[in-house]
Amino acid sequence: MENAIEIRHLTKDYGSFKLSDVSFCVPGGSIVGLIGENGAGKSTTIKCILNLIRRDAGEILLLGRDNIKDERLVKEDIGVVLDESTFHDTLKAPDVGKILRRVYKHWDSGLFQDYLRKFSLPADKYIKEFSRGMKMKLSIAAALSSRPKLLILDEATGGLDPVVRDEILDEFLNFIQDEDHAILISSHITSDLEKVADYVVYLHRGQVAIQGAKDELLEQYGRLVCSRADMAAVDDAFVVGRRTSQFGCEALIQNKEKFRRLYPGLTVDPVTLEEIMVFTVKGDVQS
Ligand X SMILES: Nc1ncnc2c1ncn2[C@@H]1O[C@H](COP(=O)(O)OP(=O)(O)OP(=O)(O)O)[C@@H](O)[C@H]1O
13 binds ligand X per the rule CB under 6 A: no
Binds ligand X (CB under 6 A): choice among 2, 38, 163, 261: 38
The nearest distance, CB 249 to ligand X, in angstroms, is 29
Neighbours of 271 (CB within 10 A): 23
Q: Which sign does the torsion angle of CA 72, 27, 34, 177 carry?
A: positive
Part in contact with ligand X (CB under 6 A); list of ranges 39-47, 169-177, 260-268, 270-278: 39-47
Distance CA 18, CA 25 (A): 20
Part in contact with ligand X (CB under 6 A); list of ranges 40-48, 114-122, 169-177, 238-246: 40-48
The nearest distance, CB 144 to ligand X, in angstroms, is 23
Binds ligand X (CB under 6 A): choice among 9, 13, 39, 270: 39
Indicate the angle between helix axes 93-103 and 132-145, nearest 10 degrees.
Answer: 30
Part in contact with ligand X (CB under 6 A); list of ranges 9-17, 61-69, 174-182, 270-278: 9-17
Closest to ligand X by CB, 45 vs 146, is 45
Closest to ligand X by CB, 44 vs 67, is 44
Distance CA 248, CA 281 (A): 20
In this structure, which amino acid lies at residue 208?
A: V
Binds ligand X (CB under 6 A): choice among 10, 25, 40, 62: 40
Distance CA 121, CA 142 (A): 12
Residues that bind ligand X (CB under 6 A): 14, 16-17, 36, 38-44
